[in-house]
Structure 1
């Protein structure tokens, strides 16, 4: 099995409009050619987390039955991209009209608002059902922050040019994958969660087969692989960021989302289940 468990596409009459709207949003953004800087990538971090909140609400069955499949994987990523893209377009026009001091500011504030609202809905659901457990999710965020700091310091010392070139975008990439790795490790070793992605499950099973599993669990190998892979990608993108910064940072933002999205999803899900 290659695809993650729970991977399901909605029927054509739902998927079709989603794809058409997404294509229209992308076409308009292509025509507008908004700048993509470190601030732009950071501004989209809340939107990456917003998509996770939408999916967690699907996991706890908070949506009406007719539309719930839109928030399953992978369609939830398309829905998130549409909403975030529309916010970006609105920000561009507000900035052009002199109503906002910068594009990234509106994108970041609106994304934070959307994430906060939907995350609170999920948290209130967990609180009402008596399943709200903050201890391990908080530990996951703290440990991921520490791991990111250590990895970034090491990168800055031994590959200073890579850290300087990728900047805040690179930091977000490392933190996103560190959060995914740490939260997955805690879920697997401590909370008894199962891993839905086949490749990730193979890495966890490899860690389980090592002699260290008895003492520190199996998840540490997954954390190490995620962080090393993130740093390796930043090294590969150094020249690309120098030559074509806008395109390179856009791709790195997607790389960050692949880590930050699942990591935030794990944290929220552990909070409410």
Structure 2
């Protein structure tokens, strides 16, 4: 099995319109050709958090049955991409019209608003149900920050050109995958959570089979793989960022989202469930 458990496509009569709208949004962005800088990538961070929050609400049964299929994986990512892309287009037009200094400001503010509202909804439901447990999620975030800082320091010392070229986008890639790794490890070793992605589950099981598992669990290997993979990707992208920064940073933003989205999903799910 290659696909993660819980991978459910919406029915065709929903999937086709979603793909059509998403295609329209992407086509318009392609035509507008907005610049993609570190600031642009950072502005989209709240939207990555928003997508993860929508999926957490699905996992906790917050949606009516008639629409909940839209917020499964991968439907939730398509919906998030449409709304985030629309916010970017709005920001571009507002900037061109002189109503906003940058399009990134619109993207960041709207994304923060959407994320804050839906995160509070998830936390409020959890508080009312008596399932609010923030201890281990806070540990995951703090530990991820520390590991990211150490990894970025090492990258800056030994591969200064990679760190300097990839900048804030590169740091986000490392943090996103570190958070995914550490939150998964805590869920696996401490909270007894299962892993839905077959490859990730294989790495976790390999770590649990090592002699060190008795003392530090099996999740450390998964963290090591995630951090190492993130740093390796940045090394491979250094020249690409120099030669084609717009395309390269767009791809790196997607790489960051692949780590940050699941990491935030794990963390928030542990808080509310």
* 1:42 match: 42
* 2:214 match: 214
* 1:226 match: 226
* 1:64 match: 64
Distance 2:168 2:2 in 1: 33
Distance 1:39 1:221 in 2: 32
Distance 2:113 2:178 in 1: 24
SS of the equivalent of 1:99 reads coil
SS of the equivalent of 1:2 reads coil
Distance 1:262 1:100 in 2: 32
**Deviation string, structure 1 residues 206-236 (Cα, Å, up to 9, x no partner):** 1001110000000000001000000000000
Distance 2:9 2:106 in 1: 32
* 2:4 match: 4
* 1:15 match: 15
Pairwise CA distance, 1:94: 0.5
* 2:184 match: 184
* 2:31 match: 31
Q: RMSD of aligned C-alpha atoms? A: 0.4
* 1:107 match: 107
Pairwise CA distance, 1:106: 1.1
Pairwise CA distance, 1:116: 0.6
**Deviation string, structure 1 residues 63-90 (Cα, Å, up to 9, x no partner):** 1111100000011100000000000000
Distance 1:244 1:164 in 2: 16
* 1:124 match: 124
Runs of 4+ in 1 over 6 A off after TM superposition: none
SS of the equivalent of 2:73 reads coil
* 2:169 match: 169
* 1:146 match: 146
Q: Is structure 2 residue 263 aligned with structure 1 residue 263?
A: yes
TM-score by length of 2: 1.00
**Deviation string, structure 1 residues 22-63 (Cα, Å, up to 9, x no partner):** 000000000000110000000001101100000000001101
SS of the equivalent of 2:7 reads coil
